[in-house]
Structure 1
Amino acid sequence: MAKKKRPQSGVRLTRQRLVDGVAGPDGARIRLARPEEGPRVGELLKLATDEIEQAHIDGVAAGKCGTWLLDGLAGHDRAMTEQLVRAAYGGKLQEGALSLSLPLVAQDRDGELVGALLALPPGTVVQTVQQAGYEQHALLAMLKYAKIKGLAVAEAARGRGMGAALLKRCAQLYWQLDFMLLFGEFEVERALGSFYARQGFTVLEPGESTDVGFLLTGRPISLGAGPGEQLFFRWKKS
C-alpha cells in the first residue's frame, strides 16, 4: 500500500508559492485568493463574522489585496515601507491597507474553495497609536501588527484541519515579513478558545486585555476584544 503523502511543513513561502499554493491537509492547497473568487471568499468569511466589509471583498475581486505582501516575499525589503509612506502622504492609506491585507483560501482536491481567512492591518490599534500622538508609529503598526478578521471553513469540510492550515500559513507569511503580532477576536458563544490555543495563540477571558504598545511607542497601549468577544493573540518568537 502506498504511503499517504504528508503536507509540506518546513517549506518557506515565496511569492510564487503563495500564489500557486502549498500543500494542506487531505490533498488541499492553501494559497492567495484570486480575483474571480471574491464572491466565494465573501460567502465563506460571513460564516465566521458579520463584520466583513464589502470593501474587502471588492478588494479581492479587483486583485488589490496582498500586493505589497507579495512584493515583500519577492525580496523587496523596503517595498512595503516605501509604498506605505507614499500612500499615507498621498491620502491613499485605505488603499494601502488593502495592499497589506491577506485573503487566503483552502482549495480541496476537487478544486472547490472550502475555507477562507482574511487578515489585515489593525485599524483600532493604528487609531489608538495616532490618538496617543505617535503618527509615525501608527504607520509602523501597520507593518508590525496584523488582525485576523475572519476564518471560516465550509461545514462539509470541517474536522479535516483546514482552519489550522490556513492559520499556519497566515502566521508563517507575517513572521517571514518581520511582523511582530497576530491577533483576532471571536464571539464567546462560538467557544473557539481551545482551537486557537492548539494553534499556539494565547486566548484571553472575556473582558481581559493585553499590552501591545510598548515595543512601538515606549508606553503601554491596551488591546482587548469587544463586548461578548474574546481576544486571541500570538507574538513572533525571537
Structure 2
Amino acid sequence: MAQVGDLETVQRLIASTGSGVNLENRLADAMADGRLGTAVMKGLAEGEEALTYEMAVAASPEGEGSVDDLIIGLSCILVADHPSHGVVGALLALPPARVLSNLGIPEMEALAGLLKIIKLNAVAVEPTHRSGGIAAALIATCRQLYSQLRYLLLYGQFSARSGLDAYYRRQGLTVLREGQGVKLTMFSVPAGIYTDPSERFFACDL
C-alpha cells in the first residue's frame, strides 16, 4: 500500500498513462492524511464482516461516517518499491460509486455494490522499469487483495486503439468486444456498465 511519502510519485505515474485518469484531490488528500484504504486494511485484518459494519455506519443517518468516507476507505493505491530507485510502479483501484448510483438499482443495493465491485482505474510503471513484470504483479496483487475481501468483480477500461487487449488477456482478464458492456448479475434488477465506442472493458470474477 502506498505511503504518504509516495504521493508525488504516484500522482506523476498515474498522470503519465495518458488515459486522462488523474489522482483526484479527495483521494490525494486521503492518502496524505492516512484515510485512504483504511477499510481495506480493516477488512484484511478482521474479515469481511468489518466491511459490512463500515457500510452500515456509512448508511446510518446517525452514524459518524459517510458514504464518501467508505469509498475512500475501500479504495487503494498499490506501489512497487525498488530498493534503489524507490517507487517505480503504481496501481489505483476504487469502487465505482458514481456508476453504481446511476444504474437504476435500489439505493441500498447500490451501496452494497461498493463491497462487491472494484474498478482498476490506472496502472503505471516508470519507463526504465517496464517489461519486468511490475504491472502484472500489481494487477495480480490487486486481484488477490479484493478477492480476499470477498469482492465479486474487478473491471477496468482502456482505449480501443491502444493495443492493450493482448496484454490484459495475458494477465488472465477477459477483454470484452468493442461496445460490449460489463454485466452485473449480483443485483435484483438487470444492470450493466457501458462505455463509449472509443474504449473497451476488461473484467474478471474474483
* TM-score using structure 2 length: 0.91
Q: What is the CA–CA distance in structure 1 between the aligned matches of 2:177 and 2:97, rounded to whole Å?
A: 22
Contact 2:182 2:201 in 1 (8 A): no
Unmatched 5+ stretches in structure 2: none
Whole-Å separation in 2 of the counterparts to 1:230 and 1:67: 31
Matched, 1:108 2:79: no
3-state SS, counterpart of residue 84 of structure 2: coil
Contact map agreement 2:3 2:31 (CA 8 A) in 1? yes
Asked whether the equivalents of residues 41 and 57 of structure 1 are also in contact (C-alpha less than 8 Å), the reply is no
Matched residue, 1:141: 113
Q: Secondary structure at the match of 1:107?
A: strand
Larger mean Cα displacement after TM superposition, 47-56 or 180-189: 47-56
Please state how far the C-alpha of 1:102 moved relative to its aligned partner: 1.1
TM-score by length of structure 1 reads 0.79
* 2:156 equivalent in structure 1: 184
Moved over 6 A (4+): none
Corresponding residue to 1:73 among 44, 48, 51:
44
User: What SS is found at the alignment partner of 2:72?
Assistant: helix
The whole-number CA distance in structure 1 between the counterparts of 2:194 and 2:82 is 35
Q: Aligned runs of 1:157-172 on 2, under 5 Å? A: 157-172=129-144
**How well do the aligned residues superpose, as a CA RMSD in angstroms?**
1.6
**1:64 aligned residue (31, 35, 48):** 35
Greater displacement, 97-106 / 72-81: 72-81
Task: Give the structure 1 partner of residue 97 of structure 2.
Answer: 123
Say if 2:176 is the partner of 1:204: yes
Please say if residues 36 and 73 of structure 2, whose CA atoms lie closer than 8 Å, have aligned partners that are also in contact: yes
> How far has the Cα of 1:211 moved from its partner?
1.4
Specify every segment of 5 or more residues in structure 1 that has no aligned partner in the other structure, as ranges: 1-31
Percent identical residues: 34
Give the distance between the partners of 1:80 and 1:216, measured in 2 at CA.
19
Q: CA deviation at 1:227?
A: 4.0
Matches of 1:122 and 1:159 in 2, distance apart? 29
Q: What secondary structure sits across from 2:161 in the alignment?
A: helix
Aligned residue for 1:21?
A: none
User: Is the deviation greater in 96-105 or in 42-51?
Assistant: 42-51
CA distance in 2, matches of 1:150, 1:88: 28
Taking the aligned partners of 1:206 and 1:153, their CA distance within structure 2 comes to: 26
Match of 2:11 in 1: 42
Whether 1:156 and 2:125 are equivalent positions in the alignment is: no
